[in-house]
């Protein structure tokens, strides 16, 4: 069985790699990545700093926030942290046509906007439109002429 320090080291190394892949600049002191991640996760910056400095394992709420911000299933975060095992959290089978490839988390609309490079000032509109499309609640556009005006 691993010591607490070994578990924190292993978990922190894994989560750091995920943070970098998601574009958070956690290596530069003034890069703002730690602050941005804390904001995106809805946690205190100190919680992110303690993890990255291998001082302590995050609490459950911090893990949930990191999961959301990084687009990783909470199940994976809890297992990687050593808090629970795969036997404790059996994998639920995905319904047919679930969309995400096995083992890959489904991106939220906000995460997709970031991944696609949508400018920050347009992200709210992107998220709103994406969610409407996903839920099938977009009203059809009025039929008009070729110039986009209503009528012939």
Cβ-contact 80, 11 below 8 angstroms: yes
On whether the pTM is more than 0.75, the answer is: no
Which residue segments constitute the domains of the chain, with CATH numbers given?
A: 1-88 (1.10.260.40), 106-139 (no CATH)
Tens digits of residue pLDDT in 61-116: 999 999 999 999 999 999 999 988 888 877 765 555 555 555 566 778 888 888 88
């Amino acid at each position: 069985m691993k010591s607490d320090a070994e578990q924190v080291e292993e978990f922190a190394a894994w989560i750091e790699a995920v943070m970098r892949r998601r574009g958070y600049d956690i290596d530069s002191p003034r890069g703002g990545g730690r602050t941005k991640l804390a904001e995106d996760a809805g946690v205190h910056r100190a919680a992110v700093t303690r993890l990255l400095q291998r001082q302590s394992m995050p609490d459950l709420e911090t893990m949930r926030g990191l999961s959301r911000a990084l687009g990783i299933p909470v199940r994976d975060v809890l297992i990687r942290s050593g808090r629970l095992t795969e036997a404790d959290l059996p994998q639920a089978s995905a319904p047919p046509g679930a969309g995400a490839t096995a083992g890959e988390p489904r991106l939220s609309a906000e995460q997709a906007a970031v991944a696609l490079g949508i400018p920050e000032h347009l992200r709210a509109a992107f998220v709103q439109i994406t969610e409407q499309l996903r839920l099938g609640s977009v009203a059809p556009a009025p039929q008009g002429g070729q110039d986009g005006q209503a009528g012939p």
